[in-house]
Structure 1
Amino acid sequence: MADRAEELKARVAARETHLRESWVRAMEARIVQDQVKACYRGESVNHYENCRELSEKYLSMLRENRVKGYKQVDVE
């Protein structure tokens, strides 16, 4: 019985770690979004040239840094 309890504790800890890391990546994307907004406001007319790197970084973070659940279900 103790073996099963330890396994359950380990699974819960792994799930919490996974979700925490997922949320941290999502919040990093939000910070970059705020930086893009500030750059856009500050650069006004030249924002296409001067904020390009931030915008590209934000777009890549949007693709990669989504909050994902612990279980992955294949529906195919």
Structure 2
Amino acid sequence: MADSTKAAELKARVAAREAHMRESWVHAMEGRIVQEQLQTCHRVEGVNAYETCRELADKYITMLRENRVKGYKQVDL
């Protein structure tokens, strides 16, 4: 009985870790998409890029801070 409980706990932990990593990578890829949009905006707008692309730049900077790929375990030092 204890072995089946441990196996179930292990499966649940692995599933939680995979879900966490998948979400982390989705956020990272969203940041990459915004980066590509910002680069395209800068190329298209030219000298007016600082004014026109301001919203994308702000969104990208926010995403850089918040959407980092994080490991499953968090170690406090």
Q: Normalised by the size of structure 1, how large is the TM-score?
A: 0.98
Aligned residue in 1 for 2:54: 52
Gaps in structure 1 of 5+ consecutive residues: none
Q: Normalised by the size of structure 2, how large is the TM-score?
A: 0.97
Gaps in structure 2 of 5+ consecutive residues: none
Aligned positions of 1:1-76 closer than 5 A:
1-75=3-77
Give aligned-pair identity as a percent: 69
Q: Distance in 2 between matches of 1:34 and 1:72?
A: 30
Aligned alpha-carbon RMSD (Å): 0.2
Q: Distance in 1 between matches of 2:67 and 2:73?
A: 17
Count of aligned pairs between the two proteins: 75
Secondary structure at 2:75 match in 1: coil
